Homo-oligomer: A and B are copies of this chain.
Amino acid sequence: MKMKPDISTLSLAIMGLISQRPQTGYDIRKAFAEKPLGHFSSSPGAIYPALQRMTKDGWICGKVDDEKVLRPRKVYEMTESGRDLLERHLRQSVDRDDVIWRMDDLMLRFSLMDEIVGRAATLRFLRSFATELEAYVAHLRCFLGEAKPSMPVCGRLAMENGIGAYEMNAAWARRALEELETDA
């Protein structure tokens, strides 16, 4: 019912940051704590184990930037195989399960993809994103139409809120598409 995410949202966010420029665990924690968008845990108990896992898996590697101190300051950067994995992940197309179960991942992918896999991939992404959303909205509207009479007021309102969220995303995708198609 869920499946797929070879890369967790946290790992993706971390790779997004260190792709821009190599960073320490602490830099990453600060970035997550200060950024208002995309909520990631900035707790050391999340970040450091994640960095260890990703290192073990060969996606990133940490270079001790200073010599023989007891507490080494490690600056992490992407490895080749990490970049590879990241690019493959960013290039994946959008399906219905993604829009239902992995919206956070989708938006995070969008915010990274233009700079890492280029404009063409970004446009492809937005088109499939909008298409899947519009199809799913149609499906939900149909469901709502049938269920409405038997639903309590607030159940119906909650569902309209859910559908509204998907519609907002679809409209945003169309606007973004227009803007990105007509610029440099």
What is the interface of chain A, defined by CB distance below 8 A to chain B? 1-2, 33, 36-39, 41-43, 100-101, 107, 110-115, 122, 139-140, 143, 152-155, 157-162, 164-165, 168-169, 172, 176, 179-180, 183
Contacts and interface: CB of A to CB of B under 8 A. Distances in A.
Contacts of A155: 111
Contacts of A164: 168, 172
A164 B170 CA distance: 11
Given A101-B39, A159-B37, A115 B169 contact: no
A111 B143 contact: no
Contacts of A169: 161, 165
A165 B165 contact: yes
